[in-house]
Amino acid sequence: MTSESFNASVFLVDRQVEAGRGDRTAITGPAGGLTYAELAAHVAELATGLQSLGVRPEERVLLVMSDRPETAITILAVMRMGAVAVPVSTMYNGTELATLIRDSRARVVVATPEFAPTVQEALLGAPEVVLFVLTDAPDRRPAQSIRPTVRLWSDVLETGGQAGRTYDTWRDSSALWLYTSGTTGAPKAAMHRHGAIQDVYETYGRQVLGIRPEDRCFSVARLFFAYGIGNSLFFPLAAGATAILDPARPTPGGVIARVMEERPTLFFAGPTFFAALLASDAPDDAFQSVRLAVSAGEALPAEIYRRFTDRFGVDIIDGLGSTEALHIFVSNHPGRVRPGSSGTVVPGYEAKLLDDFGAPVKDGEPGHLYVRGDSVATGYWCRTATTRQVFQGEWLRTGDTYVRGEDGFYQCLGRSNDMIKAGGIWVSPMEVEARLLQHTSVGECAVVAYVDADGLEKPVACVVSAPGRTVDATELIGFCRDGLASFKRPREVLVLDELPKTATGKIQRVVVRQIAAD
Ligand code: 3SK
């Protein structure tokens, strides 16, 4: 219902205080901790402070912030005062950031000190910004400028004083914009409603993760990703649990140290990071505290699942989510995992597979995956043509090709535009990659189409060797021929030092295709 009052910040924080959980830990980690009562007070203060500086409901506040308590407070305060939080990747350079600030029409930018120089550069190309709020660096105050006004975050908090009024947002009010470019294309903002935040908690958070107040959540994906903000903010706070926030850039060594120190019960990462953990010298009992690991971002190859669960003794549930859906809508379930499959449709969502002409495909046949559910974004900001292609009525076109078994389990065949037609038959890159990963010499791989001199597509494998191993291309092709229908085997194997990845750790297949073509 459009005009039902609902504020995601009140749902996530104030509700816990009202339920008598004020003294429980909401946030912990190396950058500091907060109880729910402290979090609620700071969120209210910052919301009031921002309002008193002229920040208005409905306008965008863009955040360039590492994962720390101030970031959670800022996101929640912006939502509480009815403005729209736009957390963006901290990996952009000044020019890229300026493009996003202009695109979002944000008049306010908030940053943590490590990104101050990038933001300062970006502001030269973003004339509409009137206020720049910087969280405190112990050794320096920000330089003042004529435009925009520069304020210290702690001063804004203090100005806020006693808690102000929550803006009367509705379920359908815009709460959060998340920029996505997929694996190609210019970033565009998926616009999410306040209600969608409760929706992802009720569907995936509660019914799949079974998250409870005793849980401690730690996510390798950062707060500026849809995956990360669900894992580190929406799910733990909605459940009255604890979020572990770490401002450091995640590396296998750093994450292992944090896991052993903070003892999370839920651990979230993507296949690339699980592979990196396997390649590290992490002790086998490093994940002792974890009751469940979650993988998303890309389909988790069965071989990485098997190696990780064998070595660390922790089960991984793989799931499929997207920025447009806000979180995961197809997933394996605790105790009901099928390795190599994305699982079944999460309660609260519906999925369908269609052929190229829009007709439903039978179980066992590949089709383009569409999903519907309440958490789906209202569209992309100022991208009408793309919005119409992707958001089709109630249905969201995911851009993935999947096959559904009779038992309702979905298996990823790849992005729809990554499928390879070899000898007139469709080949799933994922299927060939799953076979390659069974070979002990393969650490990571990506299979792409190479167009030969006759204009015909052939699968080519780009492979990174496993630590201490050497790849023998001929042997590897024979290994694939033994385990797959012959037409699916890679015709060539290229050994690379690393695979090109996006900021979110997804393989950039466009770049891999260029490498294969050269
Ligand atoms: O990046 C993804 O694919 C993803 C996975 C889970 C939840 C949200 C997202 C964007």
> Residue 426: its pLDDT value, please?
75
User: Helical H runs in 105-184?
Assistant: 116-124, 153-160
Please work out, in degrees rounded to the nearest 5, the angle formed at the alpha carbon of residue 327 by the alpha carbons of 272 and 47.
Answer: 115
| 138: pLDDT strictly greater than 70 | no
Cis peptide before 148 (omega within 30 of 0): yes
d(CA 179, CA 190): 6
pLDDT attached to residue 404: 98
Indicate the top mutation candidate among 177, 209, 322 to test ligand 1's pocket, ranked by most ligand atoms within 8 A of CB.
322
Q: Can you give the pLDDT at residue 419?
A: 83
Q: Is 272 in the pocket of ligand 1 (CB under 6 A)?
A: no
**146 vs 106, which has greater pLDDT?**
106
Query: 511 CA to middle of ligand 1, Å?
Result: 21
What 3-state class would DSSP assign to 17? helix
pLDDT attached to residue 308 = 97
Pairing label, strands 242-244, 410-415: unpaired
- Distance (Å, rounded) from C-alpha 125 to C-alpha 498? 34
pLDDT in tens, 275-314: 889 999 999 999 999 999 999 988 898 999 999 999 999 9
- For the cut 70, the answer to whether the pLDDT of residue 446 exceeds it is yes
pLDDT tens-digit series, residues 191-205: 999 999 999 999 999
CB of residue 173 inside a 6 A radius of ligand 1: no
User: What's the CA gap between 410 and 398, in Å, rounded?
Assistant: 14
Nearest alpha carbon to residue 81 among 192, 170, 168: 168
- What is the C-alpha separation between 426 and 102, in angstroms, rounded? 42
| CA trace torsion 270, 275, 281, 284 (10° rounding) | 70
Those residues whose C-beta lies under 8 Å from the C-beta of residue 343, and which sit 6 or more positions away, are 317, 318, 319, 320, 330, 331, 332, 333, 336, 337, 409, 410
> What secondary structure letter does DSSP report for 12?
I
How many CB atoms neighbour CB 22 within 10 A? 18
Q: Record the pTM.
A: 0.89
- What is d(CA 509, CA 490) in angstroms, rounded to the nearest whole number? 16
Per-residue confidence (pLDDT) for residue 218, from 0 to 100: 98
List the one residue out of 74, 62, 58, 90 whose CA is nearest residue 175.
Answer: 58
Report the b/e string of 219-241 with b at 16+ CB within 10 A: bbbbbbbbbbbbbbbbbbbbbbb
Ligand 1 atom nearest 178 alpha carbon: 10
Query: What distance in angstroms lies between residue 296's CA and the mean position of ligand 1's atoms?
Result: 6
pLDDT at 144 over 70: no
Please report, to the nearest 10 degrees, the dihedral formed by the alpha carbons of residues 255, 257, 262, 263 taken in order.
Answer: 90
Q: Which residue has the higher pLDDT, 82 or 450?
A: 82
From 340, 242, 282, 301, select the one nearest 39 (Cα to Cα): 242
Could you tell me if the CB of 6 is within 6 A of ligand 1? no
Quote the CA–CA distance of 373 and 329 in Å, as a whole number: 8
| pLDDT bracket for residue 17 (50, 70, 90) | very high
Strand blocks (E) in 376-441:
391-392, 395-404, 410-415, 420-422, 425-427
Distances (CA, A) of 203 to 209, 235, 328, 359, 362: 9, 10, 9, 28, 26
Give the pLDDT of residue 376. 98
Above 60 in pLDDT, residue 184?
Answer: no
Given a cut of 90, is residue 350 above it in pLDDT?
yes
CA of 110: how far to CAs of 8, 76, 101, 201, 345, in Å? 20, 13, 11, 26, 37
The pLDDT confidence band at residue 146, using thresholds 50, 70 and 90, is: low
Contact 24, 36 (CB under 8 A): yes
Give the pLDDT band of residue 185 (cuts 50, 70, 90). Answer: low
Portion of the chain with pLDDT greater than 90, in percent: 81
Contact 152, 134 (CB under 8 A): yes
pLDDT score of 1 more than 60: no
265 CA to centre of ligand 1 in angstroms: 20
Comparing CA positions, the residue from 506, 25, 508, 505 lying closest to residue 255 is 505
In the prediction, which pLDDT does 182 show? Answer: 60
| pLDDT at residue 165, as a whole number | 75
Does residue 115 have its Cβ closer than 6 Å to ligand 1? no
What pLDDT shows up at residue 166? 85
268 touches ligand 1 (CB under 6 Å): no
Q: Quick one: average pLDDT of 176-190?
A: 82
Per-residue model confidence as pLDDT tens digits over 500-517: 998 778 899 889 999 998
Contact in structure between 218 and 268 (CB atoms under 8 Å): yes
Q: Which residue's alpha carbon is at the smallest distance from atom 9 of ligand 1?
A: 322
210, 268, 414, 206: CA torsion to nearest 10: 20
Q: Residue whose CA is closest, atom 6 of ligand 1?
A: 321
- Residue found under tokens 């799933």: 428
* Atom 3 (ligand 1) nearest CA: 297
Render pLDDT for 367-421 as a digit per residue (tens, 0 to 9): 999 999 999 999 999 999 999 999 999 999 999 999 999 999 999 998 888 888 7
Residue 30 C-alpha to ligand 1 middle, in angstroms?
A: 26
The pLDDT value given to residue 412: 92
Least confident of 123-127, 256-260, 417-421: 417-421
Q: How far is the CA of 356 from the centre of ligand 1 (A)?
A: 25
Per-residue model confidence (pLDDT) at position 416:
81
Contacts of 134-137 with C-beta under 8 Å, sequence gap 24+, read 134/110, 135/65, 135/68, 135/70, 135/110, 135/111, 137/113
Spacing, Cα 202 to ligand 1 middle (Å): 17
CA 325 to centroid of ligand 1, rounded, Å: 8
Q: Is 227 in the pocket of ligand 1 (CB under 6 A)?
A: yes
Model confidence band, residue 145 (pLDDT cutoffs 50, 70, 90)? low
Written as one letter, the residue type at 123 is: L
Closest CA to ligand 1's atom 2: 297
Percent of the chain with pLDDT over 70: 96
CA of 44 to the centre of ligand 1 (A): 30
